[in-house]
Amino acid sequence: MNLAGLGLASRIVASFILVFGLMGSVGLYLMKRSLLPTFETIERKAAYDAAKRVLSGIDEQLVSLSVLNHDWAYWDEMYEHLLKPNQKFQVSNIGPAAIAASNLNAVLLVNASGAVVGFGGRALSNGRIPQMRDLLSSLLGRWQGAAPHVPTTKCGLSWMLERPVSICWTGVVHSDGTHTPSGTVAMMRELDPEDLKNIAANAGIDFSMNAPNDAKPAFFGTEIPLEIPGFQYLPAHDLQLSSHDTVIDMQSLLSGVDGRSVAQVDMQIERQWMVKAEKLLSDMMLQWAMVAFVSGVVLISVIQRWLVRPVARLRTDLASLGESKRWDSVLKYDRPDEIGELTKGINSLLLVLHEQVRKLESMSRTDSLTGIANRRKLDERLPLEMSRLARHADPLSLLLIDVDHFKKYNDLYGHPEGDVALKKVASVLAACSRQQDLAARFGGEEFAILLPNTDEAGALAVAEKIMLEMSKLEIPHAQSPTSPRLSVSVGGTTWSEVQPGGAGALISQADKALYVAKRDGRMRASFYNG
């Protein structure tokens, strides 16, 4: 640059602008090299986690169907029906109304000789009704020509009538697990648009699911495929990633029941982190050029204090956050500038991510049938209450509630009605619980209520209230030798201090009290007295 024709002040300003511009360019280049890889790592991790949540949601659909399939396979009436087909059983349990009530799209019954003795189908979301040959064509490749009749539930995906479906099958035995299997019960349920929409909402990412022949062509970029580990029923899958300027595309081929690829999942996530990072760097360059006209010394000190240090701190915090995975953390940068806006944007993303993680954790701690807490939630809460009892010595009570003769109820009215009854029992427990109490499904037809700050008299009052509210429901139970209505037995125990054995001993005492209540005639409450 020729400065001979300029005055001294202009030369100083021009020289400063030139030097500062060079320094600014070098500084921005160095920051880009250090900051963008951190953002890209977090962004790729977020994309991988989102894809993993999508496949986990699909696997949860298989798990949900497997629970229902297992229950039907351990059903005595189903066992007898496969030995000696009964038209009344056929209509009431795999007729159109029964299939719709169980949210199924097809049920197939095969006896021990390999003959089909029952089939029912319900229309898919596209209006097409599955036929017996459709379900058999998906299963025979896995069965190798004949149903295995093994009392172990197997599940997988398939593509049927232009829709993705879940399929499960189990060999049918007596409810106690004995006797030679009398056949196999297979079920099919569509992953309908509402299911896929819920999976997308929980995963926080849009995706499409298509048959491999109808899907978008697979891309083969330079990025190494990532492996998503297997879930309960879905095996491990490769995840192909392709990064673009504003989005990351992801694809994964899902295997079906016969081991062949049956569906391609296409996902896309916006590169919000990288876009904001590029914008931040661009804004920095503009700001530095403007401030260069004011004062070099002041500008350098201001940049050091208000730009370089916060960015370095933000980068460190982001790296630490990526390692700790504490998505509930909040970056505290209350500034009215781009760094503050970037921080707000990051915090907004963290809030969304934390909420999705919280929802998934809540789902893992909630019983899918009744909507109350499950055994896992109870097991997590018990140690906390043990610690509180050790500190404050306030009484702690535990009630175990068992539905009387529930197996006979299921055999008489069917499993769908049994599920409805369990939901009503759970509603009674929730209504009889305080805010600090925890009502949970303990397993099968057994429930539990954890009662902090409650002595034996208070726990007995809760137990009596539960039995009273159950009697008000007037749920008929014609096969109960105890009562013509569905009733419960309650066993309880109260601790005023922590006893040897901890939470396990507390449960054991309540279980012993429940045994006494059932031994003495059921439909009553009994408390452990040592």
Task: Give residue-wise pLDDT tens across range 83-108.
Answer: 999 899 988 999 888 999 999 999 99
pLDDT in tens, 274-313: 666 667 667 777 776 676 666 666 656 666 677 667 777 7
346 shares its domain with 386: no
467 shares its domain with 384: yes
Residue whose pair of structure tokens reads 């006797």 in the numeric block: 179
184 shares its domain with 246: yes
pLDDT of residue 343: 73
124 shares its domain with 8: yes
| Containing structural domain, residue 256 | 1-212+237-270
Residue type, 290: M
pLDDT in tens, 406-432: 999 999 999 999 999 999 999 999 999
Helix, coil or strand: residue 205: coil
pLDDT of residue 8: 39
Is the pLDDT at 148 greater than 70, yes or no? Answer: yes
Q: Are strands 226-228 and 237-243 parallel, antiparallel or unpaired?
A: antiparallel
What percent of the chain clears pLDDT 70, i.e. is strictly above it? 79
Strands in 488-495's sheet, in edge-to-edge order, are: 438-443, 446-452, 396-403, 488-495, 525-527
Residue 287 resides in a domain = no
Least confident window among 113-127, 130-144, 284-298, 477-491: 284-298
pLDDT band at residue 515 using 50, 70 and 90 as cut-offs: very high
433 shares its domain with 331: no
Residue 231 resides in a domain = no
Residue whose pair of structure tokens reads 């916060």 in the numeric block: 310
pLDDT of residue 127: 94
Residue 225, CA distances (Å) to 112, 152, 332, 387 in order: 44, 33, 36, 46
Query: The CATH number of the domain where 95 resides is what?
Result: 3.30.450.20
Domain boundary among 302, 337, 360: 360
pLDDT of residue 228: 87
Is the pLDDT at 37 greater than 80, yes or no? Answer: no
pLDDT of residue 353: 62
pLDDT band at residue 244 using 50, 70 and 90 as cut-offs: confident
pLDDT in tens, 207-232: 999 887 755 555 545 467 788 888 99
331 shares its domain with 468: no
419 shares its domain with 459: yes
- The listed range with the strongest mean pLDDT (24-33, 186-195, 230-239, 319-328) is 186-195
Cβ-proximal residues to 348 (8 Å cutoff; 6+ apart), any chain: none
Top pLDDT among 149 and 274 is at 149
Domain boundary among 330, 360, 390: 360
Answer yes or no: are the C-beta atoms of 137 and 213 closer than 8 Å.
no
Cβ-proximal residues to 527 (8 Å cutoff; 6+ apart), any chain: 456, 459, 460, 491, 492, 493, 494, 513
Residue 170 resides in a domain = yes
Query: The CATH number of the domain where 423 resides is what?
Result: 3.30.70.270
442 shares its domain with 344: no
- CA dist., res. 55 & res. 342, Å (int): 31
337 shares its domain with 415: no
Query: Structurally, how many domains does the chain consist of?
Result: 3
Top pLDDT among 272 and 405 is at 405
93 shares its domain with 142: yes
Is the pLDDT at 433 greater than 90, yes or no? Answer: yes
383 shares its domain with 261: no
CA 44 to chain centre: 21
Residue 4, CA distances (Å) to 11, 14, 124 in order: 8, 12, 83
- CA dist., res. 251 & res. 201, Å (int): 18
